[in-house]
Chains A and B, each alone.
Chain A
Amino acid sequence: MTRPILEVDALERRFDVSAPWLNRVLERKPRRTLRAVDGVDFDIMPGQTLALVGESGCGKSTIAKLVTGLHAPSGGKIRFNGDPEKMQMIFQDPFASLNPRWRVGRIVAEPLRTLHPETPDAQVTARVEELLRTVGLSGADAAKFPHEFSGGQRQRISIARALAGEPEFLVCDEPTSALDVSVQAQVLNLMKKLQREMGLTYLFISHDLSVVRHMADVIAVMYLGRIVEIQPTGDLFANPLHPYTRMLLDTIPDLESPKRDRAPMGGEVPSPVSPPSGCSFHPRCPLAFDRCKRERPQREVHVHDRRVACFAAAEDRQESAHV
């Protein structure tokens, strides 16, 4: 059996969001802690794509930053069984992440020069041109500046730069969220092609379930800093186990069978500074019962093989009772 390339175990990240010290003392306010990531477990197998989905603020980007070392964990472990040098990240905003004063050639060459400082210039230039062609740009584009490109082309430049570091593992945080759908299609097709050809592993973050369905082998659904459900993509869509996942699937607009007369579920995601007791989804959950307010459900081996954290799923209570 192959070993996962990334193992994440009971990962936590807390942020201190207290008022400034003086205000706290004067106004007698307590310290406030925000649990952005609150006990998260998952593994990723080499060559696969694991997607994190969930609504704004559920902790997706914080996990990306923990995995890439931009944040230190407050608890738990991250084990990367690959070469740490070969992990790269692609961000949401392709413009902010490209230095506007550098020519594209220099931007793409940078990780290469860091990795192999001895490489002769001619070889760097040749490799940069090759990378630009790999992502569907032309070698001549190396001489241009980022502002001369469209959003989709800029995201291709970010991908070329990430590839220059010879990655085996890519963390992609909303790589197409700022792009138009036709341009998104170009970038997603490119990412899949590169994965097939180079055996890349992706940690892929998105709030868009249709994008995630297209890209991921395994999907982890997050709510308020926790993974509430994790399943292979086909199973998640065929048989969603968590009430929150079902709510998401019911609310996303569906081009193929528009739900024109639906009554959307009420409520909003509560503040992560003071999450609800027990199961943090209980105020919005149609299946909630007493236990949900007191205890926090865990993903357990005997409940759908650790795929869901929900007491109703454990007892096989059905949503149909309410619909």
Chain B
Amino acid sequence: MTDTVLDVRNLRVEFPTRRGVLTAVDDISLTIGKGEILGVVGESGAGKSMTGMAILGLLEPPGRIASGEIRLSGDRIDTLTEHQMQSVRGRRIGAIFQDPLTSLNPLFKVGDQLVETIRLHSTLTRTQARTRALDLMREVGIPAVEERIDNYPHQFSGGMRQRIVIALALCAEPELIIADEPTTALDVSIQAQITALLKRLCRDRGTAVMLVTHDMGVIAETADRVAVMYAGRLAELGNVEDVVRRPQHPYTAGLMGSIPSLRKDMHELQMIPGSMPRLGAIPSGCAFNPRCPQAGPKCRRDIPRSDGPGAACWLALTGETA
């Protein structure tokens, strides 16, 4: 597969603590192709952001990649030095976070920030870079760019700021964009504009996108494939229609049932009893077993693993849990 942009194999992220080693990401494998959007969903603490940060090489110590491999268009990137990784982040991977202000410097005009970033990754002159900055701002849908280019970040609304961050991420024409909850802080109408923008960029430029969110609705409307995470592990991976309509993993099924419908009257929402375990207290066998209505002895003993698409669940893998 020459079109694979991101290839993550058996990634494991650990946090050594005084009370032992916590595993925040446990044996995750996934790929994203050119022009593809992979959604990563899961509840708070499932390890979505840690996966993204590990790929970006931005894990905060003592967090570290304990094992596994990360390849970007075939090149191993998890073994690079911090200095080398810095250049990969600027040139080849763009990042968009929930709070646009973490990516913008409040003291500089947005135009200057764009121009700086463009010049860092190209040989363009200031004037050429400014023209390119104006083009990028137009491309991400900022109105009246000639006037807005000399504004400071605080002079923009939340949605407009997130567009600027996207423009910033696009400066170096990266192969991969990691977007971690890019629309979570935004209103629904703005959220729709930003996800439509991501989709268009992905299609027009062939950028691979990893879209991290806890919102299944956003995934259903945006992603091509989806990875469902639970307690640091991959519960299910598949095409978005399959996962949404015919979830194979009991956790995914429960998650879908707990979302109130826009169309059907539901007397009661489906409930998954209990809550996701903390990192220090992940049960043996399948991490979901204490909450799973189908759990059997095998589930309490052995960890189900699925290589590639499908559900990491004994029932789905072998048809039984005995």
B244→A255 contact, CB < 8 A: yes
Instruction: Identify which of residues 159-199 in chain B touch chain A, using a CB-to-CB cut-off of 8 Å.
Output: 159-160, 187-193, 196
A253→B268 contact, CB < 8 A: no
Partner of A182, one of B43, B189, B191, B220: B43
What chain A residues lie within 8 Å of B191 (beta carbons)? Answer: 251, 253
What chain A residues lie within 8 Å of B255 (beta carbons)? Answer: 181-182
- Report how far A267 CA is from B192 CA in the complex, Å: 11
Partner of A153, one of B220, B264, B275: B275
Instruction: Identify which of residues 238-264 in chain B touch chain A, using a CB-to-CB cut-off of 8 Å.
Output: 244, 254-264
A252→B193 contact, CB < 8 A: no
What chain B residues lie within 8 Å of A214 (beta carbons)? Answer: 260-261, 266, 269
Instruction: Identify which of residues 113-171 in chain B touch chain A, using a CB-to-CB cut-off of 8 Å.
Output: 157, 159-160
A259→B275 contact, CB < 8 A: no
Stretch at the interface among A42-50, A184-192, A292-300: A184-192
- Report how far A181 CA is from B228 CA in the complex, Å: 14
B196→A211 contact, CB < 8 A: no
A150→B217 contact, CB < 8 A: no
Partner of A253, one of B190, B214, B218, B258: B218
Q: Looking across the interface, which residue of chain A has its beta carbon closest to that of B183?
A: A253
Minimum CB–CB distance from B151 to chain A (whole Å) comes to 15
What chain A residues lie within 8 Å of B215 (beta carbons)? Answer: 253
Given known pairs A213-B262, A255-B220, the reply for A152 and B275 (CB within 8 Å) is: yes
B260→A252 contact, CB < 8 A: no
A265 located at the interface, meaning its Cβ lies under 8 Å from any Cβ of chain B in the complex:
yes
What chain B residues lie within 8 Å of A153 (beta carbons)? Answer: 275
What chain A residues lie within 8 Å of B276 (beta carbons)? Answer: 180
B271 located at the interface, meaning its Cβ lies under 8 Å from any Cβ of chain A in the complex:
yes
Tell me which of A150, A151, A264 has the highest count of chain B C-beta atoms within 10 A of its own C-beta: A264
A210→B193 contact, CB < 8 A: no
A210→B259 contact, CB < 8 A: yes
B268→A251 contact, CB < 8 A: no
B44 located at the interface, meaning its Cβ lies under 8 Å from any Cβ of chain A in the complex:
yes
What chain A residues lie within 8 Å of B261 (beta carbons)? Answer: 210, 213-214, 255-256
Interface flags for B186-227 (1: CB within 8 Å of A; 0: not) read: 011111110010000000000000000011111011100000
Minimum CB–CB distance from A187 to chain B (whole Å) comes to 10
Give the size category of B's interface with A.
35 or more
A34 located at the interface, meaning its Cβ lies under 8 Å from any Cβ of chain B in the complex:
no
Given known pairs A254-B217, A258-B220, the reply for A264 and B275 (CB within 8 Å) is: no
Interface flags for A210-228 (1: CB within 8 Å of B; 0: not) read: 1101100000000000000
Given known pairs A252-B262, A268-B159, the reply for A185 and B270 (CB within 8 Å) is: yes
A55→B188 contact, CB < 8 A: yes
Partner of B262, one of A185, A186, A254, A269: A254
Minimum CB–CB distance from B10 to chain A (whole Å) comes to 27
Q: Looking across the interface, which residue of chain B has its beta carbon closest to that of A150?
A: B275
What chain B residues lie within 8 Å of A253 (beta carbons)? Answer: 191-192, 215, 217-218, 220-221
B214→A180 contact, CB < 8 A: yes
B44→A151 contact, CB < 8 A: yes
Q: Looking across the interface, which residue of chain A has its beta carbon closest to that of B262?
A: A210
- Report how far A188 CA is from B218 CA in the complex, Å: 22
A265→B189 contact, CB < 8 A: yes
What chain B residues lie within 8 Å of A269 (beta carbons)? Answer: 187, 189
What chain B residues lie within 8 Å of A247 (beta carbons)? Answer: 189
A20 located at the interface, meaning its Cβ lies under 8 Å from any Cβ of chain B in the complex:
no
Interface flags for B29-73 (1: CB within 8 Å of A; 0: not) read: 000000000000001100000000000000000000000000000
- Report how far A184 CA is from B214 CA in the complex, Å: 13
A14 located at the interface, meaning its Cβ lies under 8 Å from any Cβ of chain B in the complex:
no
B269→A188 contact, CB < 8 A: yes
What chain B residues lie within 8 Å of A182 (beta carbons)? Answer: 43, 254-255, 258, 271-272, 275
B217→A263 contact, CB < 8 A: no
Q: Looking across the interface, which residue of chain B has its beta carbon closest to that of A193?
A: B268
Tell me which of B193, B255, B266 has the highest count of chain A C-beta atoms within 10 A of its own C-beta: B193
B188→A248 contact, CB < 8 A: yes
Minimum CB–CB distance from A83 to chain B (whole Å) comes to 30
Ranked nearest first, the 6 interchain pairs of A and B with the lowest CB-CB distance are: A253-B217, A185-B258, A264-B192, A214-B260, A185-B269, A55-B187
Question: Could you pull out 14 A-B pairs where Cβ atoms are within 8 angstroms?
Answer: A181-B258, A181-B259, A185-B272, A207-B187, A207-B188, A251-B192, A252-B217, A253-B218, A253-B220, A253-B221, A254-B220, A258-B217, A262-B221, A264-B193
- Chain B residues at the A interface, C-beta cutoff of 8 Å: 43-44, 157, 159-160, 187-193, 196, 214-218, 220-222, 244, 254-264, 266, 268-272, 275-276
